[in-house]
Structure 1
Amino acid sequence: MDEIEHLLSSLQDHLDAAEAKSLSDDAESDVEKAQSIASDITADGVDHEKIDTLLEILEEIKTTGTGNSEADSHIDAAKRAGERVLKR
């Protein structure tokens, strides 16, 4: 597994972990959108436009919060992984 694959796997794992927590309705919907985009990126290859969109969604979730501090930590970690993918 190369570094990009590892980062994408980590990003997806953190989104899955966030989704498993009790979230506000808005956050749950946004996490589902982020998961869908992350799955597309993993399946289709790195697309900077999709990563930008994913990061925008994660920033929105971070700004509004999920209603769960553990989920917020997973969102932060997913965002960091996405930012690292974008820099590669």
Structure 2
Amino acid sequence: MMILELAFTASPERLAARPAHRSFLTRLHEEGRLLAAGPWADDSGALLVFDVGPAELERVLDADPYYRTPGVEVAAVREWTPVVGSVS
């Protein structure tokens, strides 16, 4: 399980790229590779929870140009081992 944290600025490029990014996330969720994703309430960034390993997460990041868009910064990538709750 992998956690991705993003930091945002109010870049017009980021806002323009967001619809295609969200469509990509929807597909990943339908495939079971993305469990949850969403922005912080103040839109300063976002948290994404992936049911993939580190190598697969790298492929996901490479496949979605949003992560290289001005105004989007990958702030943290962490492996996560949940001990409570259903995440499978």
TM-score of the aligned structures, taking structure 2 as reference length: 0.41
Q: Greater strand share, 1 or 2?
A: 2
TM-score of the aligned structures, taking structure 1 as reference length: 0.41
Indicate the structure (1 or 2) with the bigger Cα radius of gyration: 2
Q: Greater helix share, 1 or 2?
A: 1
